[in-house]
Structure 1
Amino acid sequence: MDQDVAGVEQRWAMVNHRGPYLLLLIGAILAVPTAGMVGMEPGDWYAVGGLVAAGLALQVWWGTVAEMPSGPSGTSVCYYAVRWVIAFALTWINPLFSFYAFTGYFGARRLLPRPLRNVGLFATAVTMSGAQSGGLPPSGRSQWLLFGAILAVTVVLVAVSDRVFATEDERARVQAATIAELERTNTALQQALDENASLHAQLLVQAREAGVADERRRLAAEIHDTLAQGLTGIIAQLQVVANAPDLEIARTHLERACDLARHSLGEARRSVHNLAPVALENDGLAEALKKTVAEWGERVGVRAEFTVTGTAEQLHEEVAATLLRIVQEALSNAARHAAATRVGVTLSFLGDEVILDIRDDGRGFDPLAVPPRTGAGGFGLDGMRARAARIAGALTVESEPGHGTALSARVPLVRHE
């Protein structure tokens, strides 16, 4: 748009600069064969030659020394007045110089301030009407009437044209202002987008750093909830073995100790495996969640289903890891506390957001009655909320005793870098 406006302005500047040369040349050429027809005397040629030379000199001066300013000025008013005087004098001598007098319509809006613009246009209309009615000055009543009629029509046409040009100029001004405002708005929007991207990057870095502390707490909770209890059970069984009155009792408790040791070893491997999202090393989030849900369902004997809606995209590693951890913790809680027979996990890609829903048909609970869990007591709902919040997301919980539980994590869709 700006290039089109600039192109139009450049073409009009060329017309205003070269047009007077061309029209003065046309008038001079036509004056030669028509001199006898309009009653030119031999001495008139000296005046014509001097006026043509003055017109050329004026145009050269205006084009090289006093280049047209951006708006009317004292210099532009003098230029317009002198050009009109030369054109009027030439047209008085030979009406065909009205071609040059037509330059009075050129750039009047740029050369003359508003109070003088109508005067300049009227003066040009007088010169043109005199030429069209047979030359200046009119001779006889009929020629004066003709001159008056042509002048009246010309003035009306000039007024209408000036009004149209004024409307177009105003429209162009408003359009230019609108374009400038749009450019400022686009610049501000781009700055906001850049700042938003920077904040997202900062947020992900903070989430990564905070994730280290979260994993330490989670691992401590795993050790407390599984390994420590398993080791305590093994010690208890071995103590019974040491004090057993017969070999059969000792063998029974020794087998229990072995079972506890195997279970604790499995829990240790699971905890180490969950220390980093290994499932995301070779798969995207959707595929990793599908495998996680299927393996969990087989391990705990619960019907587990996974669904993807929308167009799956490759997410930033921190966003994918956060959602995977939330699902793992939610499934772990369901296995420990919900006594569910069916669990559903849905991953939805909606515009600039990703929504993760985990639902079960377990015993449910009152979310308001659950106290915060800190320290080594487990990760829990507060931890899942903290995970979502660190990447500018949110976790909501809907549950009711006897009617199952529904968790929904909503996070920004940040694509893989």
Structure 2
Amino acid sequence: MPTPPETARRASFDDWGPYGLLAVGTVTAAGSARLVGMSRGELYAAAVLLAAALLLQLVWGPVTGHRSVPSRTSAGLYFLRWALAFVLTWLNPFFAFYAVAGYYSAGHQLPRRLVLPGLCLTAVTMAGSEVGGMPPRGAVLWIGFVVVLGANIGLVAVFTRFALQEQERLSAQAGTIAELERTNTALQQALDENAALHAQLLVQAREAGVADERRRLAAEIHDTIAQGLTGIIAQLQVVANATDLTTARTHLERASSLARHSLGEARRSVHNLAPVALTVDGLPEALRKTVAEWGERSGVRAEFTVTGTAEQLHDEVSATLLRIAQEALSNAARHAAAHRLGVTLSYMGDEVSLDIRDDGTGFDPAAVPARTRAAGFGLDGMRARAERIAGTFAVESEPGGGTALSARVPLVRDDR
């Protein structure tokens, strides 16, 4: 995890700041030693204390492990540095430069309960320096010391309060950010799981669709091609046993008609076996061509409309909707006897809707033959297709009132 800029700056000051303050205090104290009247003994004492302060700073980092967190060790070192700075400032007020480090480092080197006492002790050192050195000489300087100390402690209290409030605000902000990160992580996991479930659902839908197509094709072969071939055989048998040419010619024409009809049904079944149109065009254009070709074949006025903004859908979603449309058109051609038919494809945010309406004879949905449902095609087949990709299918119809079919499926985009 990257180090925040504020933490990096603080660590840099903890490493080098006290050295700089000690150096400034030493230079200014040396220049003012004669002015403040330091004796030879005080000079020797100051030198020893400076060596001790330098040694303290050298061992500070290794002892604390360069950690900017409060501990007993860092608290002990803090108060030891304060004692050295206090005595040095007693010897020469200009050593107060070194004591300034106590203001900066109390917040992250002392436990919270010791922060205010540590700052107050530093304020005592600074107040002594500001009145000319310790101890104050005379009643006036003592009074001045008390006043200056009170001002320093007052400022310390005010700024400490502000610092604590800012720290609490930052802690609350950090907690909020952490909670948002956890929420985003959980949301991303949910989205990933949802995407995986969608992918699994589409795979299952594709596998189920293969089986469904086999059942549908078997039923179509039985209901159209096989029956047509049976009829042709029956007509040819009549021809074979006919005693006059007229009867033979009539039954041959019927056999020829049945053959043409069966050929047309075979071509239609092969055309619907796979959504070939989707290999070239998107779903809207494939539906448009399918509806137009169906209208030309059936002689019914057929219209196709797209609403919303068209998007590139997942292959399985496009194939499912095209299959439902093909099945609905096939049913309409067989049973509806309609004059007009409309197909509408609607893109609605997170859903896609396919609606097919005709003005045909209509029917009672509850009265659909049980054998049709068991075969797995027709209305139940369309419903099963939609439900396999987490969609819904609805039918509204009544005898003489036309039919309306509606399939609504999730809008799953093609991410390729």
Secondary structure class of the residue paired with 2:258: helix
**Given that residues 357 and 409 in structure 1 are in contact (C-alpha distance below 8 angstroms), is that contact kept between their aligned partners in structure 2?**
yes
- Residue number in structure 2 paired with 1:61: 59
- Residue number in structure 2 paired with 1:162: 160
What is the CA distance between 1:297 and its match in structure 2?
0.8
- Residue number in structure 2 paired with 1:270: 268
- Residue number in structure 1 paired with 2:104: 106
- Residue number in structure 2 paired with 1:224: 222
Output the aligned Cα RMSD. Answer: 2.0
1:206-227 Cα shifts (integer Å, max 9, x gaps): 1222112111110111112211
What is the CA distance between 1:370 and its match in structure 2?
3.4
Q: Following the alignment from structure 2 to structure 1, what is the Cα–Cα distance between the partners of residues 364 and 154?
A: 85
Q: TM-score, normalised by structure 2?
A: 0.94
Q: Following the alignment from structure 1 to structure 2, what is the Cα–Cα distance between the partners of residues 378 and 99?
A: 92
Q: Work out the percentage of aligned pairs sharing the same amino acid.
A: 69
Q: Following the alignment from structure 1 to structure 2, what is the Cα–Cα distance between the partners of residues 200 and 108?
A: 56
What is the CA distance between 1:296 and its match in structure 2?
0.4
The letter of the residue matching 2:275 is: P
Q: Following the alignment from structure 2 to structure 1, what is the Cα–Cα distance between the partners of residues 51 and 130?
A: 25
Unaligned stretches of 5+ in structure 2?
Answer: none
Q: Following the alignment from structure 1 to structure 2, what is the Cα–Cα distance between the partners of residues 372 and 50?
A: 107
Q: Following the alignment from structure 1 to structure 2, what is the Cα–Cα distance between the partners of residues 373 and 168?
A: 76
- Residue number in structure 2 paired with 1:403: 401
- Residue number in structure 1 paired with 2:332: 334
Q: Following the alignment from structure 1 to structure 2, what is the Cα–Cα distance between the partners of residues 368 and 57?
A: 96
- Residue number in structure 1 paired with 2:172: 174
Q: How does 1:25-104 map to 2 (within 5 A)?
A: 25-69=23-67, 71-104=69-102
Matching residue within 191, 194, 211 for 1:193: 191
Q: Which deviates more from structure 2 when the two are superposed, residues 189-198 or residues 212-221?
A: 189-198
**Given that residues 74 and 110 in structure 2 are in contact (C-alpha distance below 8 angstroms), is that contact kept between their aligned partners in structure 1?**
yes
Q: Which deviates more from structure 2 when the two are superposed, residues 391-400 or residues 217-226?
A: 391-400
Q: How does 1:254-403 map to 2 (within 5 A)?
A: 254-370=252-368, 372-374=370-372, 379-403=377-401
**Given that residues 373 and 380 in structure 1 are in contact (C-alpha distance below 8 angstroms), is that contact kept between their aligned partners in structure 2?**
no
Pair 1:30–1:389, CA change in 2 (3 A) = same
The letter of the residue matching 2:219 is: A
Secondary structure class of the residue paired with 1:254: helix
**Given that residues 222 and 378 in structure 1 are in contact (C-alpha distance below 8 angstroms), is that contact kept between their aligned partners in structure 2?**
no
Pair 1:73–1:376, CA change in 2 (3 A) = closer
Q: TM-score, normalised by structure 1?
A: 0.93
**Given that residues 372 and 382 in structure 1 are in contact (C-alpha distance below 8 angstroms), is that contact kept between their aligned partners in structure 2?**
no
Pair 1:372–1:40, CA change in 2 (3 A) = farther
What is the CA distance between 1:377 and its match in structure 2?
5.0
Pair 1:376–1:236, CA change in 2 (3 A) = farther
Pair 1:259–1:371, CA change in 2 (3 A) = closer
Q: Following the alignment from structure 1 to structure 2, what is the Cα–Cα distance between the partners of residues 405 and 374?
A: 18
Secondary structure class of the residue paired with 1:306: strand
Q: Following the alignment from structure 2 to structure 1, what is the Cα–Cα distance between the partners of residues 370 and 174?
A: 60
**Given that residues 90 and 134 in structure 2 are in contact (C-alpha distance below 8 angstroms), is that contact kept between their aligned partners in structure 1?**
yes
**Given that residues 92 and 137 in structure 1 are in contact (C-alpha distance below 8 angstroms), is that contact kept between their aligned partners in structure 2?**
yes
Q: Give the total of aligned pairs.
A: 415
- Residue number in structure 2 paired with 1:145: 143
Q: Following the alignment from structure 2 to structure 1, what is the Cα–Cα distance between the partners of residues 62 and 69?
A: 17
Q: Which deviates more from structure 2 when the two are superposed, residues 92-101 or residues 31-40?
A: 31-40
What is the CA distance between 1:70 and its match in structure 2?
5.2
**Given that residues 340 and 362 in structure 1 are in contact (C-alpha distance below 8 angstroms), is that contact kept between their aligned partners in structure 2?**
yes
The letter of the residue matching 1:94 is: N
Write out the 4+ residue segments of structure 1 that deviate beyond 4 Å after TM superposition.
371-378
**Given that residues 395 and 405 in structure 2 are in contact (C-alpha distance below 8 angstroms), is that contact kept between their aligned partners in structure 1?**
yes
What is the CA distance between 1:371 and its match in structure 2?
5.0
Secondary structure class of the residue paired with 1:257: helix
- Residue number in structure 2 paired with 1:209: 207
What is the CA distance between 1:349 and its match in structure 2?
2.3
Secondary structure class of the residue paired with 2:40: coil
Secondary structure class of the residue paired with 2:306: strand
Pair 1:377–1:112, CA change in 2 (3 A) = closer
Pair 1:369–1:107, CA change in 2 (3 A) = farther
**Given that residues 277 and 286 in structure 2 are in contact (C-alpha distance below 8 angstroms), is that contact kept between their aligned partners in structure 1?**
yes
Q: Which deviates more from structure 2 when the two are superposed, residues 265-274 or residues 169-178?
A: 169-178
What is the CA distance between 1:46 and its match in structure 2?
0.7
Q: Following the alignment from structure 2 to structure 1, what is the Cα–Cα distance between the partners of residues 66 and 277?
A: 73
**Given that residues 80 and 104 in structure 1 are in contact (C-alpha distance below 8 angstroms), is that contact kept between their aligned partners in structure 2?**
yes
The letter of the residue matching 2:392 is: A
Unaligned stretches of 5+ in structure 1?
Answer: none
Q: Following the alignment from structure 2 to structure 1, what is the Cα–Cα distance between the partners of residues 90 and 412?
A: 79
1:275-302 Cα shifts (integer Å, max 9, x gaps): 1112222222111111000000111111
